Amino acid sequence: MQRQAVLQWLRAPEDRLDELWAAADECRRAHVGDAVHLRGLVEISSYCARNCHYCGLRADNHQARRYRLTVAEIMHAARQCVALGYGTIVLQAGEDYGLTQNWIADLIRLIKHDTGLAVTLSLGERRPEELRVWRSAGADRYLLRFETSNAALYARLHPAARTPRPDRLALLPMLRELGYEVGSGALVGLPGQTHEDLANDLLLLGELDLDMIGVGPFIPHPDTPLGVAPCDAEDQVRADELTTYRALALARLICPDANIPATTALATLNRAEGRLLGLQRGANVVMPNLTPAAQREDYAIYPDKACTHEDPTAYDAELRAQLSALGRSVGKGRGDSLRWRQRHANRRRDDYQEAS
């Protein structure tokens, strides 16, 4: 898709958008089909060493309550994931160095041994050696959003880590090289983000040839530097529902084969219909929250998250009924990315040709 076309859709008047939704929905159907893959999301730690200006878990937010789940709590959630028929568990946390290399590796091995689930990690910018060890332990996928492709805006919102490390964009090819399915994405409506920036973010998704894509609206958190940020910069992208659907639909058109969730942040903007509309405008994944109820509220990257009071079993029943009403099936098995499967088939073929 050309940059000009992306910009036009980002700025198109509301009454033209049905055309965009229809194109994204058709592209989704043709490339990844009608199945919606469900992934169980477990937020394993709310500690974070970083200080992203938009996020409620940032280290300097002393109001945030911090927890780390025990192995027993995580395994309980993993069994729940299996019982609900989900093929993937997503282990997400702030950048918490208390989650050590060996602890995570042992956890991955235990989950694999006991459940056979596909394991997705979303643990921030970790050392290349950790990423390698976790992949060897059996982790299948890694999510790391680049958040914004505008380097100056990124630098403004992300104070550097205390120890020098490869930058975020450099980690993505490294993850790919290690054999992970790779996910990334951006925030919609960060204060200071222009439509040109968002168009660049969306085009970058295509250049990175991602397996998974997460795009969600920025939601201000009152205990962060951006909590009270009425931002009227020129050409500022709005952090609203409609703009998020535009970005989602364009992400699908730019990356037809990717797995793209209807995010919780989107559901937070429209509790009744956000996820369902997302699924009809490009998305093909939902990530129901399986974090234990006692800690759920404390994983507050932004306030009032849609899933805070969702009971996994009740939400699962509701979601299945809604999907069936939309004429969509529930994905079976692990729901691997098509790109990843192709890439691995090619790799195996190349290895074979080299060997013979």
**Where along the sequence are the contacts to ligand SF4 (CB under 6 A)?**
48, 50, 52, 55, 57-58, 94-95, 124, 301
Stretch of 6-14, 78-86, 171-179, 217-225 lying at the interface with ligand 5AD (CB under 6 A) = 217-225
Here the tokens at position 340 are 């990843």
61-69 — which CB contacts under 8 Å span 24+ positions?
61/221, 61/223, 61/224, 63/223, 64/223, 64/298, 64/300, 65/298, 66/298, 67/295, 67/298, 68/44, 68/96, 68/98, 68/99, 69/42, 69/43, 69/44, 69/45, 69/291, 69/292, 69/295
Rounded to whole angstroms, how far apart are CA atoms 304 and 323? 25
* Minimum distance, C-beta of residue 163 to ligand SF4, in the bound complex (Å): 14
Across the strands, what pairs with 183?
A: 143, 212
55 or 248: CB nearest ligand 5AD: 55
Q: Does 145 bind ligand 5AD (CB under 6 A)?
A: yes
CB of 54 to ligand 5AD, least distance (A): 4
Of 32-40, 218-226, 311-319, 339-347, which part binds ligand 5AD (CB under 6 A)? 218-226
Of these, 47, 54, 86, 245, which contacts ligand 5AD (CB under 6 A)?
A: 54
Are 190 and 346 within 8 A, CB to CB?
no
Among 302, 306, 319, 336, binds ligand 5AD (CB under 6 A): 302
According to DSSP H, which parts of the chain are helical?
3-11, 17-32, 71-83, 101-115, 128-136, 151-157, 168-177, 195-207, 241-254, 264-269, 274-279, 293-296, 312-325, 338-355
Stretch that binds ligand 5AD, among 191-199, 215-223, 276-284, 348-356 (CB under 6 A): 215-223
- The listed partner (ligand 5AD, ligand SF4, none) that binds 299, CB under 5 to 8 Å by sort, is none
d(CA 239, CA 191) in angstroms, rounded, equals: 9
Work out whether 274 is an interface residue with ligand 5AD (CB under 6 A): no
Partner in contact with 95, chosen from ligand SF4, ligand 5AD, none, beta carbon below 5 to 8 Å by kind? ligand SF4
- Asked if residue 176 binds ligand 5AD (CB under 6 A), the reply is no
Query: Which of the stretches 41-49, 134-142, 213-221, 306-314 binds ligand 5AD when contact is defined by CB under 6 A?
Result: 213-221
265 binds, among ligand SF4, ligand 5AD, none (CB under 5 to 8 A by kind): ligand 5AD
Residue 251 CB coordination number (10 Å) = 25
The one of ligand 5AD, ligand SF4, none whose footprint includes residue 276, by CB under 5 to 8 A per kind, is none
